[in-house]
Amino acid sequence: MGEGLSIKQFVTEVKKGNISVLEHTEKILSEAEQSNSQYHYFNLIAREAALKQAGEVEASIKTGRNKGMLPGVPLSVKDCICVQGIESRAGSKILSGYEPLFDATVIERARAEGAIIIGKTSQDEFGFGTFNTNVGIGFEIPKNPHDIKRCCGGSSGGSAGFTALTKLTHASIGESTGGSIACPASFCGVVGLTPTYGRVSRYGLIDYANSLDKIGSMGKTVEDAALLLEVIAGYDSNDSTSLKQEKDDFSKIEPSKLKIGIVKELFENCDAPVKKECMNAIKKLGAKTQEISLPLNAKYGIAAYYIISTSEASTNLARYCGMRYGLHEKLEGNFNEYFSKVRSNGFNKEAKRRILLGTFARMAGFRDAYYLRAMKARTRLIREFKEAFSKVDVLANPTMPIVAPTFEAIEKLTPLQQYAMDLCTVPANLAGMPHISVPVAMQGKAPVGLMLTADHLQEKKMIQAALAVESACK
């Protein structure tokens, strides 16, 4: 019941009355609960709320009132996205006990189409990480569904991990700042779709970096991820960065051969087996290809990204001071002493590191030298992308330069080496361009993902190419 079915197939069977929404919801909740002790994909499983919603959806189907696109489809949600009445902590101890009084716009839209919210998934604290090992104090690190000695990738690791693990119909809403959808999708062997910045409303998102954050979708197939994006995308007056763009039928696109640009620098800096599998996937398409060089993005992308993202994170995290919501301590000492105590006890090591980096970069004496220079560089990096898209339809490169590393290997990396792992995903995120990671092969127990990037608002072209890749690599 619900095993091996795409979302469209599942919805068809639900509307025919062949699948019970309540029974399917109970089954996937039980699987989430049983697997969580070993894999740690969920920070919270919303059993009571999910079953109540499933009952309402099932009743609406029986009476013929439910015309939604996702009736009964279980959705997991990254912990940094607000769900009304369900603890939403962005993976941080400092937000313990915070239960939003409202749904994020993406949750509201998914519910309106009949989707069932089953829980909040694990992430690096506030999205600060590449491997989902920088979880908040008191949280468990998720394990790769293909090999528990390896990481899931971050920061949407829980979303990707459970999507890969379950055989039941399921999709997940993730979020990306510098590659937090594509990276775990690649490491776990699922599809991760990150839209153009502004295509999906950020209202109700617990921010990492406002000018970079993008909510997207994760699914077992390109079609599943595209359908979920179709549901959650669209203009929202609650979000000043939301684009007034008409909704597209992302799930009704047919595979097509497009001209593909092979990004020279992003292939050169990858492990040989990863490079080989990605090149093989492109060759299987039989599409026209052209080598594209993005030297500025390869050289300056990571530096610009980390200056901008940590500066914005430093500003955003200033609100977590123990006064309005989340972690509180005994009121004693002066303001600085109290706030420092709360933040010292509430943030993990990586969060503190990024707050310090960002605060330094935006200080009066250094703002021009670091933050403003990084913003100017970003404009030039976008221009380099635009020049590339005048020659090709989509760009292709390995999603990550390596397969999912073991936890033992991660412990040996310095923070700077961990940041460098974002080489392939950061440029598209910094430019706000849509991109998708599609699984193309396995290296032993570890999946390899190919990332496709399109120009702003060209998700249709990107999905066309992704469908072709998916079909060629089956």
For each of the domains in the chain, give its residue range(s) and CATH number, in order of start: 1-474 (3.90.1300.10)
Average pLDDT in the 183-197 region? 98
Question: Is 52 a residue of the active site?
Answer: no
**Statement: residue 376 has pLDDT above 90:** yes
- Which residue in 362, 368, 363, 377 sits closest to 303, CA to CA? 377
Computed over every residue of the chain, the mean pLDDT equals 96
320: Cβ–Cβ under 8 A, 6 or more apart, which residues? 92, 94, 95, 326, 327, 342, 343, 346, 347
Q: Which amino acid is it at 147?
A: D
Q: Is the pTM value of this prediction over 0.95?
A: yes
Residues 319, 430: Cα–Cα separation, whole Å: 25
Average pLDDT in the 140-166 region? 98
Q: Which residues pair with 168 in a beta bridge?
A: 3
Q: Which of 76, 88, 122, 155 is catalytic?
A: 155
Average pLDDT in the 32-53 region? 98
Q: Which of 78, 93, 120, 143 is catalytic?
A: 78
Backbone angles phi, psi at 213, to 5 degrees: -65, 135
**Statement: residue 2 has pLDDT above 80:** no
Give the pLDDT confidence score for residue 66 in this predicted structure: 74
Give the pLDDT confidence score for residue 297 in this predicted structure: 97
- Which residue in 78, 252, 107, 37 sits closest to 180, CA to CA? 78
Q: Which of 180, 251, 309, 314 is catalytic?
A: 180
Q: Which residues pair with 251 in a beta bridge?
A: none
Give the pLDDT confidence score for residue 1 in this predicted structure: 66
Longest distance between any two alpha carbons in the chain, whole Å: 68
Distances (CA, A) of 267 to 159, 183, 263, 421: 27, 16, 6, 13
Question: Is 474 a residue of the active site?
Answer: no
Binning pLDDT at 50, 70 and 90, where does residue 324 land?
confident
Strand pairing category for 260-263 and 289-292: parallel
Each residue's pLDDT tens digit, 89-124: 999 999 999 999 999 999 999 999 999 999 999 999
Quick check: bond before 155 cis, omega within 30?
yes
Q: Which residues pair with 174 in a beta bridge?
A: 216
Question: Is 78 a residue of the active site?
Answer: yes
Buried b (16+ CB within 10 A) or exposed e, 371-389: beebeebbeebbebbeebb
Average pLDDT in the 210-232 region? 98
